[in-house]
Amino acid sequence: MSYQTRSSLSFSSRELIDLAIAWVTLSVAFAILLSGGSAIGGIDPAALVRMTLLSLVTVGVGFLSHELAHKVVAIRFGQVAEFKADYGMLFVALMSALVGFLFAAPGAVHHRGRITLRENGLIALAGPLTNQALAAVFFALYMAPATLGGPPLVGEIGRLGVWINLFLAAFNMLPWGPLDGTTVKRWNTSVFVLVFVPSLLAALYVMFVGV
Spatial separation of the C-alpha atoms in residues 107 and 182, rounded to whole Å = 15
Of residues 157, 118, 150, the one with CA closest to residue 134: 157
**Residues forming a β-bridge with 110:** 82
67 is catalytic: yes
Q: What is the DSSP string of 101-170?
A: ------EEEEEES---HHHHHHHHHHHHHHHHHHHHHHHHHHHHHHHH---HHHHHHHHHHHHHHHHHHH
Q: What is the DSSP string of 167-204?
A: HHHHHHTSSSTTSHHHHHHHH-HHHHHHHHHHHHHHHH
Which residue in the list 67, 82, 119, 156 is annotated as catalytic? 67
Of residues 138, 140, 133, 161, the one with CA closest to residue 69: 133
Spatial separation of the C-alpha atoms in residues 137 and 159, rounded to whole Å = 10
Spatial separation of the C-alpha atoms in residues 205 and 176, rounded to whole Å = 22
Show which residues are catalytic: 67
